[in-house]
Structure 1
């Protein structure tokens, strides 16, 4: 998933409002979600992610039995938490993301994708206080990713997030660029098997970042062996 915003705030707001209005009309749920997913792929700022998150929440309000709007709203919210520089705002964002993903979990129990978001929320909160939250956050995130893979051993996002976590974890706590690369490569292989999702509203994010991070790992490992 990219997190870059290439459209102006006014244009984005207009498109998002139109998408939500469509969701309130019978048979327009797919079109509304598709429009919002296109917008989600263009944002790069905290404000942009929260704008799209709010739009997904409005769709969720109109489509109360659908888990995906809550899921995507939680995803955008936790991405905002990762990018937020004001640490006093991170916990509220994580709490908001938790409420959203819990609603998604209620509507779609034992969903492999839901546990990926739970792992992200656990990691996002670490930035508030690395010393006191680091180990617990990493452990909680790992447990959620393991649960995700128990539910679907072929979920590429679980491997991608394991790669991210392993890459960013200090070596003294189990981090490893070599292991991270293995996770990224596994994720890329599994992403290839989900190519058909590109034209649907099914969960389909992470591939481009996994490919970029795999290249970063290879470069760093090559440098380390010279």
Structure 2
């Protein structure tokens, strides 16, 4: 009897695993080929459904938040931009209370780097009134991301992007961004992504590096 129950449980587990893998593969394909607001919204909804079905896995929520950030960039209304950024933070916030013993340190690094991106989106809505508050919070997230995983290239890329688009009078500029982008590119050379884990950023780093060199 116990052996029969074990077989049933294992079969159910494998079935769920196959369903998750299929769903994530489809959702990530939607995300990587997305161009329009509607494309990202479709991918976002797909990731959200997966996140609700698999609540012990951080990846669907991560991609849901990343999709919402992309949607916010394509919105014109500031209020709607904020709504999508808030949705991103709402799904990422539960991971604040998790320690390395509960989730991989690289996963925490990726989550913190994404939070920094979402916070930078908040700044872009109104740089004059939000720059100081959200700039500090975003910087804290970048520092935490680097601390959790020194080999992760994405926090260096995010930091470099923020420096590049911050006026020199406020501590930014191309000269401040270049070392961070170069460090990001160095880390991309040896970085390996697990299946479904974040693997974006290399093209952005190369593009910004080329742009800075031309200045």
* TM-score (normalised: structure 2): 0.84
Corresponding residue of 2:42: 51
Aligned residues: 195
Contact persistence 2:30–2:39 (CA under 8 A):
no
Corresponding residue of 2:11: none
Q: Which runs of 4+ in 1 moved over 3 A?
A: 103-110
- 1:165 and 1:127 map into 2 onto residues whose CA distance is 11
Deviation at 1:76, TM superposition (A): 1.0
Deviation at 1:25, TM superposition (A): 4.5
Structure 1, unaligned runs of 5 or more: 1-23, 221-226
Deviation at 1:117, TM superposition (A): 1.3
Deviation at 1:177, TM superposition (A): 0.4
Whether 1:217 and 2:207 are equivalent positions in the alignment is no
- 2:95 and 2:49 map into 1 onto residues whose CA distance is 14
Corresponding residue of 1:185: 182
Task: Work out which of the residue numbers 165, 168, 179 in structure 2 matches 1:168.
Answer: 165
- 2:86 and 2:159 map into 1 onto residues whose CA distance is 22
Greater RCO, CA 8 A, separation 6+:
1
Corresponding residue of 2:152: 155
Superposition RMSD on alpha carbons, in Å? Answer: 2.0
Deviation at 1:144, TM superposition (A): 0.6
- 2:178 and 2:143 map into 1 onto residues whose CA distance is 18
Corresponding residue of 1:66: 57
- 1:100 and 1:161 map into 2 onto residues whose CA distance is 20
Q: 1:100-115, aligned counterparts within 5 Å? A: 100-105=91-96, 108=103, 111-115=108-112
Q: 1:1-226, aligned counterparts within 5 Å? A: 25-28=15-18, 29-105=20-96, 108=103, 111-194=108-191, 196-197=192-193, 200-220=195-215
Question: Considering only CA atoms, is the larger Rg found in Structure 1 or Structure 2?
Answer: 2
